[in-house]
């Protein structure tokens, strides 16, 4: 606000002593220093926070490189940062002030809840949904996938713009291959992958001959399924899941071919995802849409 000449006062709203920079809010304000001192996070050399935000962030985000997991308490760091930032906004805009011990305890609760949800996500059976958008008159294609938990809530979604995919089935297989690899890298152990392509599903299960053009992709998929025995691919009608279809269409608005991962629901997907939720209990699907 000060840089835009909206406010003349750039001092910290809590301590009033220094310029209110991000580094000051998170690390150098006496309130922030008290919270860090209350926590089990190792203090910086000589107990002095750096004047550099990047140095401070690097120190607290790389604790596991210098200490054992029991000593580092690295899982607590993001929640301490989040609570410091949130408390600053509550103090400034709502006049709410929280004692440092209460803020620290709330960060511990946040951490415990996050870890509990992570464990639930890895043990619950999920069905990720992926989708390919292809048309013979277009040089570009789009693929998208979405993974959801047992209640239909989004866990992760992926979207990427492609060129050179020769058929709907190849586009679909590319989307499915990316989705399987992503779920494995993210540590999910039990996943049902749904595709609206019966041709692709039969190729993967071995009941239909694999097209030579997409044989390398099918091999990658089957190898991934062999490594992850709790993964399986099923045919699922596109009518039951329009979310992945919407993601694939959105790819055509992208300016580059960089793959994009979402852990929160983007605004352009929210209404479709909510409409899909009643139709599935557990869902991950790979669906295809032809764009005219």
Q: What is the pLDDT of residues 123-144, one digit of tens each?
A: 555 556 666 655 454 556 788 8
Question: Is pLDDT at 221 greater than 70 in this prediction?
Answer: yes
The domain boundary residue, chosen from 120, 153, 180: 120
Q: Quick one: pLDDT band at residue 273, thresholds 50, 70, 90?
A: confident
- Residue 13 belongs to some domain of the structure: no
- Residue 87 belongs to some domain of the structure: yes
- Mean pLDDT score of the chain: 81
Closest CA to 233 of 208, 261, 196: 196
pLDDT at residue 132, as a whole number: 60
Share above pLDDT 90 across residues of the chain, in percent, rounded to a whole number = 25
Share above pLDDT 70 across residues of the chain, in percent, rounded to a whole number = 84
Question: Is pLDDT at 274 greater than 50 in this prediction?
Answer: yes
Verify that 284 and 155 share a domain, yes or no: yes
Closest CA to 29 of 40, 43, 13: 13
Handedness of CA 219, 222, 225, 226 (dihedral sign): negative
- Residue 11 belongs to some domain of the structure: no
Verify that 211 and 175 share a domain, yes or no: yes
Q: Quick one: pLDDT band at residue 59, thresholds 50, 70, 90?
A: very high
DSSP E strand stretches across the chain: 127-134, 140-148, 154-163, 191-195, 231-235, 260-262, 285-290
Verify that 113 and 148 share a domain, yes or no: no
Tell me the whole-structure pTM to 2 decimals.
0.52
What is the number of structural domains in the chain?
2
Q: Quick one: pLDDT band at residue 4, thresholds 50, 70, 90?
A: confident
Verify that 277 and 151 share a domain, yes or no: yes
Q: Which residue has the higher pLDDT, 101 or 167?
A: 101
Q: Is 41 helix (H, G, I), strand (E, B) or coil?
A: coil
Verify that 172 and 262 share a domain, yes or no: yes
- Residue 284 belongs to some domain of the structure: yes
Residue-wise burial string across 107-128, b where 16 or more C-beta atoms lie within 10 A, e elsewhere: bbebbeeeeeeeeebeebbbbb
- Residue 219 belongs to some domain of the structure: yes
pLDDT at residue 218, as a whole number: 94
pLDDT at residue 137, as a whole number: 45
The highest-confidence range among 113-122, 140-149, 212-221, by mean pLDDT, is 212-221
Verify that 174 and 243 share a domain, yes or no: yes
Question: Is pLDDT at 291 greater than 50 in this prediction?
Answer: no
Domain hosting residue 53, numbered range: 22-120
Average confidence (pLDDT) over 237-256: 75
- Residue 80 belongs to some domain of the structure: yes
Verify that 158 and 258 share a domain, yes or no: yes
Q: Which residue has the higher pLDDT, 17 or 41?
A: 41
Verify that 178 and 95 share a domain, yes or no: no
Verify that 173 and 206 share a domain, yes or no: yes
What CATH number should be reported for the domain holding residue 205? 3.30.420.10
Verify that 276 and 168 share a domain, yes or no: yes
Q: Quick one: pLDDT band at residue 241, thresholds 50, 70, 90?
A: low
Question: Is pLDDT at 161 greater than 80 in this prediction?
Answer: yes
Q: Give the separation between CA 168 and CA 186, rounded to whole angstroms.
A: 27
- Residue 15 belongs to some domain of the structure: no
Q: Are 173 and 221 in contact (CB under 8 A)?
A: yes
pLDDT at residue 26, as a whole number: 94
Verify that 44 and 157 share a domain, yes or no: no
The domain boundary residue, chosen from 79, 103, 120: 120
Q: Quick one: pLDDT band at residue 277, thresholds 50, 70, 90?
A: low
Question: Is pLDDT at 226 greater than 90 in this prediction?
Answer: yes
Q: Which residue has the higher pLDDT, 210 or 241?
A: 210
- Residue 8 belongs to some domain of the structure: no
Verify that 111 and 184 share a domain, yes or no: no
The domain boundary residue, chosen from 97, 120, 143: 120
């Amino acid at each position: 606000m000060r840089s835009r000449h909206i406010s003349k006062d750039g001092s910290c709203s809590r301590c009033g002593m220094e310029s209110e920079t991000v580094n000051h809010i998170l690390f150098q304000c006496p309130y922030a220093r008290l919270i860090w001192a209350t926590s089990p996070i190792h203090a910086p050399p000589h107990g002095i926070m750096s004047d550099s935000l990047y140095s401070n962030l690097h120190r607290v985000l790389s604790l596991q490189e210098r200490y054992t997991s029991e000593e580092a308490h690295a899982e607590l760091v993001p929640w301490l940062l989040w609570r410091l930032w949130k408390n600053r906004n509550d103090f400034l805009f709502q006049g709410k002030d929280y004692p440092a011990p209460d803020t620290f305890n709330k960060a511990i609760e946040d951490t415990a809840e996050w870890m509990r949800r992570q464990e639930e996500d890895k043990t619950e059976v999920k069905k990720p949904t992926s989708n390919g958008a292809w048309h013979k008159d277009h040089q570009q294609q789009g693929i998208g996938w979405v993974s959801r938990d047992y209640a239909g809530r989004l866990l992760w979604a992926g979207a990427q713009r492609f060129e050179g995919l020769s058929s709907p089935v190849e586009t679909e297989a590319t989307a499915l291959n990316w989705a399987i690899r992503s779920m494995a890298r993210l540590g999910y152990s039990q996943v049902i992958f749904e595709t609206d392509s019966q041709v692709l599903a039969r190729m993967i299960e071995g009941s239909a001959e694999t097209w030579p053009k997409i044989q390398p992709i099918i091999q990658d998929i089957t190898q991934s399924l062999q490594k992850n025995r709790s993964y399986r691919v099923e045919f699922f009608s596109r009518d039951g899941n329009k979310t992945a279809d919407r993601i694939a269409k959105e790819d055509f608005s992208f300016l580059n071919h960089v793959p994009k991962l979402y852990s929160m629901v983007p605004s352009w997907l929210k209404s479709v995802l909510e409409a899909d939720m009643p139709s599935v209990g557990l869902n991950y699907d790979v669906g295809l849409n032809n764009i005219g």
